């Protein structure tokens, strides 16, 4: 193979040539992940003067093949792929459950979507009314119908390939691209699922099944998570570049330190850059720094007026931290399963999702296309070579098969993002403390998901070798709930329009506003809410 530029030769991109504030900005967006990018693009399109402040660097697209080497070689850790810096990104973990925060986000223009998997589904209707429909959690102040047109717009904006889902919420039009065809291993699962009367359906992917919006169709690199060298997988850089084309200014390596404010408005964002510290004024501010850094920034911006943190009259800033829990099972079959050709999923089932009640949470089940190690990963982690290595890889690769699933966790008072005053980051600010706890309903539901997974794998004749059950589950890297949406100012941080109850000119675009999480990967909902925030800001400024 040629054309594999070495990871070591990646140069740090120079980024913005001018990091000074923009004069007469209408809107300042904090964070250049997909949420900030979509807000910026939409408002730039409406003719607003927009500035985006992004803490991390800008990465060169041309380096992605070199970054892929970091994804494949065992010498590199996952956070290395997008140059995470353990001091810059330091954090604490005081909860009962460990949380690997820097595996769960990426810092830089594009945000965590640089690293993400790219499964994008709408929440189900009942997810917006958990209390009313399931008797637990809280209701969102908005319904599916409020978000429905924004979901459609988000699917077009980011480019979604998907097909018919008999269990999904109502939709008016198909997704903009056809679904990826099912995999060979899906066809193995299909026989077992038929027998058990479990319906499989396509996974909606933020990944081009054909060229879309000037980006390549998927070419099958199989390293989607954590890096897609072809650009077929959507990430936030798409809308950052689009926003810049419409006149927005994006300043990288501009970490917002504090939001200056009076009683009801943010007046400026102070930000630190390699070129010094600056102060950005704007008429409106949109916080889109993700579900951990957004509440942290509000807590860091405490004042006499807001002694417990900015926009925190309710006390809910940082509270109710939620993620989705992973439930999985896998093993080997006595025939080839054709895994690891691509790095994404083509089939799932939502059949059991709406059986959720107070005892059992909503959950979905996924059929993997990348079970077991890939050949190259095996080749790089042994103490053999030559024919011995070949034999080992031949034995080890080819018959793995696995299922996954995501489970909702409820908002809990003992699960939150706080500040660890005893540890500071490279700017001298207290680091985020991820205090994560999970309740029994989620754990029971993982067992339920495992039961179904076992029945399918047994039917298929799989020799089961591993289970991610209640004792060995982990987070899906979806940071929700930490500035929750509420009708009443006493119950949450933002209103139904995602504007903070306390401050007139501050909106939040993030899964941090989710009052409950459902069991769907959050980013399509984040994108829909971001487009809705852009409309609200445009109407207000």
Ligand X SMILES: Cc1cc2nc3c(=O)[nH]c(=O)nc-3n(C[C@H](O)[C@H](O)[C@H](O)COP(=O)(O)OP(=O)(O)OC[C@H]3O[C@@H](n4cnc5c(N)ncnc54)[C@H](O)[C@@H]3O)c2cc1C
So which residues are the catalytic ones?
478
Compute the half-sphere exposure of residue 18: CA atoms within 13 Å on the CB side of its CA. 6
Of 169-228, binders to ligand X (CB under 6 A) are 225
Q: Is 6 in the site for another protein (CB under 8 A)?
A: yes
Q: Is 225 in the site for another protein (CB under 8 A)?
A: no
User: Which does residue 105 bind out of ligand SF4, another protein, ligand X, none, counting CB within 5 to 8 angstroms by kind?
Assistant: ligand X
Q: Name the token pair of 499.
A: 């504007």
User: Quick one: which of 13, 46, 60, 73 contacts another protein (CB under 8 A)?
Assistant: 73
* Sign, CA torsion 381/385/386/389: negative
Q: Is 214 in the site for another protein (CB under 8 A)?
A: no
Binding residues for ligand SF4, total number by CB under 6 A: 15
Measured from the CB atom, the residue of 165 and 523 that comes closer to ligand X is: 523
Q: Is 219 in the site for ligand SF4 (CB under 6 A)?
A: yes
- Under DSSP, the state recorded for 320 is S
> Are 112 and 96 contacting, i.e. CB atoms less than 8 angstroms apart?
no
How would you class 338 by CB atoms within 10 Å of its CB: exposed for 0-12, middle for 13-18, buried for 19 or more? middle
User: For residues 494 and 415, what is the distance between their CA atoms, to the nearest angstrom?
Assistant: 19
- Contacts by residues 94-100 (CB-CB < 8 Å, ≥ 24 positions apart): 94/418, 94/420, 94/433, 94/434, 94/435, 95/414, 95/415, 95/434, 95/435, 95/436, 95/437, 96/436, 96/437, 97/436, 97/437, 97/438, 99/323, 99/434, 99/436, 99/475, 100/475
Q: Is 9 in the site for another protein (CB under 8 A)?
A: yes
Binding residues for ligand X, total number by CB under 6 A: 40
Calculate ∠ Cα 481-482-488, nearest 5°. Answer: 80
What are the CA-CA distances from residue 425 to residues 163, 290, 292, 317 (Å)?
A: 45, 17, 14, 20
Q: Is 342 in the site for ligand SF4 (CB under 6 A)?
A: yes
Q: Name the token pair of 274.
A: 């390699």
Q: Is 376 in the site for another protein (CB under 8 A)?
A: yes
Q: Name the token pair of 387.
A: 């024919």
- Under DSSP, the state recorded for 205 is B
Chain center to CA of 523: 6
User: Which does residue 314 bind out of ligand SF4, ligand X, another protein, none, counting CB within 5 to 8 angstroms by kind?
Assistant: none
User: Which does residue 328 bind out of another protein, ligand X, ligand SF4, none, counting CB within 5 to 8 angstroms by kind?
Assistant: none
| Helix intervals (H) in 250-362 | 290-300
Chain center to CA of 522: 6
User: Quick one: which of 21, 33, 163, 518 contacts ligand X (CB under 6 A)?
Assistant: 33
User: Quick one: which of 342, 371, 403, 509 contacts another protein (CB under 8 A)?
Assistant: 342
User: For residues 235 and 232, what is the distance between their CA atoms, to the nearest angstrom?
Assistant: 9
Q: Name the token pair of 375.
A: 């050949």
CB of 122 to ligand X, least distance (A): 11
> Are 168 and 126 contacting, i.e. CB atoms less than 8 angstroms apart?
no
> Are 28 and 53 contacting, i.e. CB atoms less than 8 angstroms apart?
yes
Measured from the CB atom, the residue of 142 and 177 that comes closer to ligand SF4 is: 177
Nearest one of 291, 366, 372 to 326, comparing CA atoms: 366
> Are 44 and 247 contacting, i.e. CB atoms less than 8 angstroms apart?
yes
User: Which does residue 184 bind out of another protein, ligand SF4, ligand X, none, counting CB within 5 to 8 angstroms by kind?
Assistant: another protein
User: Quick one: which of 230, 270, 423, 437 contacts another protein (CB under 8 A)?
Assistant: 230
Measured from the CB atom, the residue of 19 and 207 that comes closer to another protein is: 207
User: Quick one: which of 233, 324, 448, 479 contacts ligand SF4 (CB under 6 A)?
Assistant: 233
User: Which does residue 224 bind out of ligand X, another protein, ligand SF4, none, counting CB within 5 to 8 angstroms by kind?
Assistant: ligand SF4
Q: Is 83 in the site for another protein (CB under 8 A)?
A: no
CB of 76 to another protein, least distance (A): 9
User: Quick one: which of 478, 484, 499, 532 contacts ligand X (CB under 6 A)?
Assistant: 478
User: Quick one: which of 403, 523, 529, 531 contacts ligand X (CB under 6 A)?
Assistant: 523
User: For residues 463 and 401, what is the distance between their CA atoms, to the nearest angstrom?
Assistant: 9
Q: Is 331 in the site for ligand SF4 (CB under 6 A)?
A: no
**Region of 63-71, 270-278, 356-364, 515-523 interacting with another protein (CB under 8 A):** 63-71
Q: Name the token pair of 377.
A: 């990963």
CB of 159 to ligand SF4, least distance (A): 11
CB of 328 to ligand X, least distance (A): 15
**Region of 106-114, 207-215, 278-286, 354-362 interacting with ligand X (CB under 6 A):** 106-114
Of 179-198, binders to another protein (CB under 8 A) are 180-184, 187
CB of 120 to ligand X, least distance (A): 6
User: Quick one: which of 120, 136, 198, 228 contacts ligand SF4 (CB under 6 A)?
Assistant: 228
Measured from the CB atom, the residue of 25 and 342 that comes closer to ligand SF4 is: 342
User: Which does residue 516 bind out of ligand SF4, ligand X, another protein, none, counting CB within 5 to 8 angstroms by kind?
Assistant: none
| DSSP H/E element including 38 | helix 34-45
User: Which does residue 290 bind out of ligand SF4, another protein, ligand X, none, counting CB within 5 to 8 angstroms by kind?
Assistant: ligand X
Nearest one of 399, 535, 400, 536 to 42, comparing CA atoms: 535
**Region of 33-41, 240-248, 466-474, 496-504 interacting with ligand X (CB under 6 A):** 33-41
Of 50-79, binders to ligand X (CB under 6 A) are 53-56
> CB-based contacts of 493: which residues, under 8 Å, 6+ apart?
298, 311, 312, 314, 316, 317, 483, 484, 485, 486, 500, 501, 508, 513
> CB-based contacts of 522: which residues, under 8 Å, 6+ apart?
478, 480, 511, 514
Positions that interact with another protein (CB under 8 A): 1-9, 65, 68-69, 72-75, 180-184, 187, 209, 217-223, 229-230, 335-336, 338, 340-343, 346, 369, 374-380, 383-387, 389-390, 393-394, 397-398
Positions that interact with ligand SF4 (CB under 6 A): 207, 218-224, 228, 230, 232-233, 342-344
């Amino acid at each position: 193979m040629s054309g594999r530029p070495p990871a070591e030769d990646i140069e740090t991109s120079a980024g913005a040539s001018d990091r000074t504030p923009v004069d007469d900005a209408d809107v300042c967006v904090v964070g250049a992940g997909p949420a900030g990018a979509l807000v910026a693009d939409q408002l730039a399109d409406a003719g607003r003067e927009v500035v985006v402040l992004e803490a991390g660097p800008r990465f060169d697209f041309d380096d992605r093949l070199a970054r892929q080497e970091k994804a494949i070689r065992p010498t590199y850790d996952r956070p290395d792929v997008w140059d995470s810096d353990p001091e810059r990104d330091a954090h604490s973990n005081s909860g009962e459950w460990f949380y690997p925060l820097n595996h769960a986000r990426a810092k830089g223009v594009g945000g965590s979507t640089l690293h993400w998997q790219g499964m994008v589904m709408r929440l189900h209707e009942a997810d917006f009314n958990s209390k009313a429909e399931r008797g637990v959690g809280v209701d969102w102040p908005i319904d599916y119908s409020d978000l429905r047109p924004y979901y459609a717009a988000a699917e077009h904006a980011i480019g979604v390939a998907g097909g018919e889902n008999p269990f999904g919420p109502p939709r008016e039009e198909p997704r903009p691209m056809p679904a990826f065809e099912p995999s060979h291993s899906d066809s193995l699962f299909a026989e077992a699922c038929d027998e058990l009367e479990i319906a499989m359906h396509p996974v909606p992917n933020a990944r081009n099944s054909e060229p879309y919006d000037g980006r390549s169709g998927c070419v099958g690199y199989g390293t989607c998570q954590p890096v897609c060298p072809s650009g077929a997988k959507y990430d936030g850089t798409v809308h950052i570049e689009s926003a810049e084309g419409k006149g927005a200014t994006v300043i990288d390596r501009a970490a917002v330190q504090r939001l200056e404010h009076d009683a009801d408005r943010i007046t400026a964002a102070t930000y630190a850059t390699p070129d010094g510290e600056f102060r950005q004024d704007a008429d409106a501010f949109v916080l889109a720094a993700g579900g951990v850094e957004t509440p942290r920034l509000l807590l860091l911006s405490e004042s006499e007026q807001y002694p417990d943190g900015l926009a925190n009259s309710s006390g809910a800033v940082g509270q109710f931290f939620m993620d989705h829990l992973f439930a999985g099972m896998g093993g080997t079959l006595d025939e080839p399963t054709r895994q690891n050709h691509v790095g994404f999923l083509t089939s799932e089932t939502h059949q059991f999702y709406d059986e959720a009640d107070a005892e059992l949470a909503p959950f979905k089940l996924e059929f993997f296309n990348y079970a077991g190690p890939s050949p190259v990963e095996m080749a790089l982690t042994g103490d053999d070579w030559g024919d011995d290595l070949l034999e080992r890889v031949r034995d080890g690769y080819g018959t793995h098969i696995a299922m996954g699933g995501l489970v909702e966790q409820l908002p809990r008072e003992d699960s939150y993002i706080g500040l660890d005053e005893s540890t500071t980051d490279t700017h001298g600010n207290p680091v985020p403390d991820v205090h994560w706890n999970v309740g029994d309903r989620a754990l029971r539901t993982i067992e339920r998901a495992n039961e179904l997974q076992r029945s399918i794998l047994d039917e298929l004749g799989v020799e089961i070798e591993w289970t991610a059950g209640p004792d060995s589950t982990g987070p899906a890297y979806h940071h929700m709930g930490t500035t929750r949406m509420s009708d009443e100012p006493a119950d949450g941080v933002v209103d139904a329009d995602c504007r903070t109850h306390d401050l007139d000119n501050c909106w939040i675009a993030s899964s941090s506003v989710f009052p409950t999480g459902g069991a769907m990967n959050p980013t399509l909902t984040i994108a829909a809410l971001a487009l809705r925030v852009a409309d609200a800001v445009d109407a207000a400024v």
